[in-house]
Structure 1
Amino acid sequence: MTTQSGAVGDKAAHSETLQFIGGLLLIMALGLNLRPLLASASPLMEDIRMATGLGYGVLAWLTTLPFLCMGAVALASGRLQRLLGESRGIMLSLAAIGAACALRQVSGTGMTLLSTALLGGAGIALIQALVPGLVKRRFGARMPLVMGLYSASLMSGGGLSAWISPRLAELGGWQLGVGIWWVPAVITLVGWFLIFRRRAAPPASVAAIEGVRPWRLKRAWLLALYFGVINAGYSSVVTWLPVYYQELGWSAVAGGQLLAWMTIFQVLAALTMPALAQRQKNADRRWLLAASLTAQLVGYLGFIFMPQSLALLWNAIGGFGLGASFSLGLILALDHLPDARAAGRLAAFMQGFGFMLNAMSPWISGTLREMTGSFISAWALLAVGIAAMLVVTLRFNPKRYARVMQGQAGY
């Protein structure tokens, strides 16, 4: 009897391990699909401009529209989740991303590019809004580690697509470079359908979901502002860093390689910092956040004062700070509430307004460049924002989370 019970226990443990690995791989696959729509077009902008006749101002919307979608859809994610369900919402989102990329491959008009930016952006946005709550519910105490792997895969997807797309364009034109990314979206969709189609999320209590109305809580607004500012540098750096170094005399290829170098350290940070958070005995993330923001600040100051002599160093440090800030910002929101659905709703609210700030960041940086004749003013503004958020970080004491989420302790 004991031997039989042990065998049953081993089988159950083995099954649980396989489910964990399968779920983790799917979460990482989701992350890999969330940036190619944006990043694949960046190194091919000149080819796209020549083929479509679109100006630089219009082409900027290929990045801005998805970020605006991320904000708007995240704010409506609660209703969308109730309407579609968690699993169905993710599958429809993957279908939207795949369709957007496929349309770009078969039709290279300016209208197609802009409309697919909206379609794919909506899919990206809904997945990003649903994943935090899904991870907290499915992975429990392993949440920080899994969120780190998800963030790393998200950034890796952007870096890989920016590196691969120009090479594919050399073989089959720019439409192949920006459109081929429907393939991983379809593969992930099939995997999600096969594994999760029968696993509906357990119903959350009405009190858990309806009792948390983020827009009524000062802390939720503070988290939204915090997330937006500490991640605003990502969209500006991706858009303008190669241009900045080209103005300093670097070639376009060298500027792109510098961005790829930065991506390596973003991924490294997204893996290591949440792993450190996983090892913490409490949910106090303040020293990890402070270290991440300090790294960003050092990077921006390096861009301002010594951009040429130690370019690799500043980009490595700044990239590490940017990569860590995204994953830790999501973990910070999820820490505030014990219920997975309610925490996911808070994270979606935070991302909603945060991504809208991110969408404005490249435009503000570009405007400052036109007004001052240099990107130094843009780096300075980002540095000031990070310095302010270092002070705000002190407010995130986990011992106060229960009170502030009940509206009893201000911010």
Structure 2
Amino acid sequence: MNHTRPAAWLMLAIILVALNLRPSMAAIGPLLSAIRSDIPLSFTLASLLTMLPVMAMGLAMFFGLSISRRLGERRTVLLSLLIIGLASLSRLFIDSAFELIVSAILAGVGIALIQALMPALIKTRFADNVALCMGVYVTSIMGGAAIAASFAPLVMVQAGSWRVGLAVWAGLALLAWLVWCLQPAPAISRVTKRESFVTSPRAWLLAIFFGLGTASYTCVLAWLAPYYVEKGWSEQHAGLLLGFLTAMEVISGLAVPAIANRSRDRRGIVAVLLLLIIGGFCGLILVPQYLALLWPCLLGLGIGGLFPMSLIVALDHCDEPQRAGGLTAFVQGIGYLIAGLSPLLAGMIRDRLGNFEGAWWALTAVMVIMLLMVMRFDPRHYARYLPRPG
């Protein structure tokens, strides 16, 4: 019997599911000025549209794994896609900032349930190619953001409504839902006792590292397009610039884990990615209008590789898929709570200072701190930092 076909079919289903995990957030930035002209929305309040789903993703991570154990992988994914699809569709009928924020939180819960489940699923089903398959999965997440950022303004112009630009992504959720319906139900995996990582300093270090890296991702997703609109660009050009940045993330997200697969020591690669992000932020602050494509290119290549690599480094710490799944759920849970605060802080800085440069400087400083943290990820010592419970 040919085993590659079910594996390829499952990977296709995972890619389609992953494409749905960012459009609900990525479509907002390019359409923000249109939304704000229709609904009263300060930058601080607008930041909640990115912050609250990310916070919901963090909180839902902690019960996401237990829900997926109760419902099973297949039903959990189907339920999550339904929630994401309905949250997107509801935006057709929105008349207030409150309703927009509720739809964002709902989408965040659906996204979190899938994100809690996927690393363990990938480590179980693709044990020989974890780094590569994690790269494809995470890259597909960023691909969804690229598609939404690029096409939401075009949809808005064609339809004459920003609501359609936000709601059209329900169609993508429906497509993934139908393909996932055709997946055979997996054998029920043996339920092992859940291990708590709350008392592990190493788990906290991994979580903070993931959170700070994701903060740069969420801030850029929320504020890059509005930043360039303030510099005099049209919504469509600013949206395409964000789309270009996320396309760079996709390229890096595919290439970097494939390169990293050759060695268990990931520190050199992660340090290079952080330097790219620092270069991108410095260019964005100092000369945003010159070499305008270079800075998003550097940011995209850096952020796109850092996102999967910080999860892969966490997975490297545990050999058993169930335990690795528990660790990555903890890392993402705490990490998304940290990352969720960053668009809010950036929005508050924008409201206070009247520009976004202060926020970009703060993120540059955060990347420098992360460079110092990278040195701690020596694979020879992983077993010492996270010994097997016995």
Aligned residue runs from structure 1 range 307-326, under 5 A: 307-326=288-307
Match of residue 148 from structure 2: 161
The equivalent of 1:298 in structure 2 is 279
Moved more, 116-125 or 309-318: 309-318
The one of 191, 206, 211 aligned to 2:179: 191
Distance 1:299 1:201, change over 3 A: farther
Return the offset for 1:354.
1.0
- Conservation of the 8 A alpha-carbon contact between 2:55 and 2:340: yes
Contact 1:156–1:267 (CA under 8 A) maintained in structure 2: yes
CA gap 1:129/1:56 in 2 versus in 1, 3 angstroms: same
The residue that corresponds to 1:273 in the other structure is: 256
Q: Indicate the residue corresponding to 2:99 in structure 1.
A: 112
Residue 204 (structure 2) aligns with? 221
Q: Residues of 2 paired with 1:405 and 1:395: CA distance?
A: 13
1:176 has 2:157 as partner: no
Contact 2:81/2:176 (8 A) holds in 1: yes
What displacement does 1:353 show? 1.3
Asked if 1:16 corresponds to 2:3, the answer is yes
What SS does the corresponding residue of 1:337 show, helix, strand or coil?
coil
Residues 79-90 of structure 1 mapped to structure 2, 5 A cutoff: 79-90=66-77
TM-score by length of 2: 0.93
Q: Structure 1 residues 171-180 or 20-29, which shifts more?
A: 171-180
Question: CA contact under 8 A between 2:279 and 2:295: conserved in structure 1?
Answer: yes
Whichever residue aligns with residue 174 of structure 2, its letter is: V
The structural deviation recorded for 1:53 is 4.2
Within 2, Cα distance between the matches of 1:35 and 1:353?
Answer: 19
- Structure 1, 178-187 or 323-332: larger mean CA deviation: 178-187
Tell me which moved more, 309-318 or 335-344: 309-318
Superposed CA offset, 1:36-65 (max 9, x none): 111223322333334444554433322221
Q: Helix, strand or coil for the counterpart of 1:213?
A: coil
The aligned residue for residue 137 of structure 2 is 150
The CA deviation at 1:99 is: 1.4
Letter in 1 for 2:380: K
* Mapping of residues 47-58 of structure 1, within 5 Å: 47-58=34-45
1:60–1:407 CA distance, 2 compared to 1 (3 A):
same
> If you compute each CA radius of gyration, which structure gives the higher value, 1 or 2?
1
1:45/1:248 CA distance change after superposition, 3 Å: closer
Structure 1 Cα separation of the partners of residues 333 and 93 of structure 2: 32
Equivalent residue number for residue 50 of structure 2:
63
Counterpart residue number, 1:125? 112
Given candidates 5, 13, 35, the residue that maps to 2:22 is: 35
The match for 1:240 among 218, 223, 227 is: 223
- What is residue 268 of structure 2 aligned with on the other side? 287
Determine the structure 2 residue equivalent to 1:4. Answer: none
Does the 8 A contact of 2:156 with 2:163 survive in 1? yes
Q: Which one of the candidate residues 333, 347, 354 is aligned to 1:366?
A: 347
Deviation at 1:359, TM superposition (A): 1.2
**Alpha-carbon separation, structure 2, partners of 1:113 and 1:372:** 26
For the structure 1 residues 60 and 366, does the alpha-carbon distance in structure 2 shift closer, same or farther, using more than 3 Å as the test? closer
- Answer yes or no: is the 8 Å Cα contact 1:296–1:317 preserved in 2: yes
Amino acid at match of 1:242: A
The structure 2 residue matched to 1:205, chosen from 192, 199, 209, is 192
Of 387-396 and 370-379, the range deviating more from structure 2: 370-379
Shift of 1:374: 3.7
**Residues 152, 267 of structure 1: 8 Å contact kept:** yes
- Which of 364, 370, 373 in structure 2 is aligned with 1:383? 364
**Structure 1: gaps spanning 5 or more residues:** 1-11
Q: In structure 2, what is the Cα distance between the partners aligned to 1:183 and 1:285?
A: 38
Q: Which residue of 1 aligns with 2:60?
A: 73
Q: 1:215 is paired with a residue of what secondary structure?
A: coil
Matches of 1:158 and 1:244 in 2, distance apart? Answer: 18
Farther-moved stretch of structure 1 (179-188 vs 220-229): 179-188
**Alignment correspondent of 1:335:** 316
1:369 is displaced (CA, Å) by 3.3
Letter in 2 for 1:119: L
Match of 1:8 in 2: none
- SS of structure 2 residue aligned to 1:195: coil
CA distance in 1, matches of 2:171, 2:35: 21
SS state at 1:199 partner = coil
Structure 1 residue ranges, 4+ long, deviating more than 6 angstroms after superposition: none
Return the TM-score normalized by structure 1.
0.88
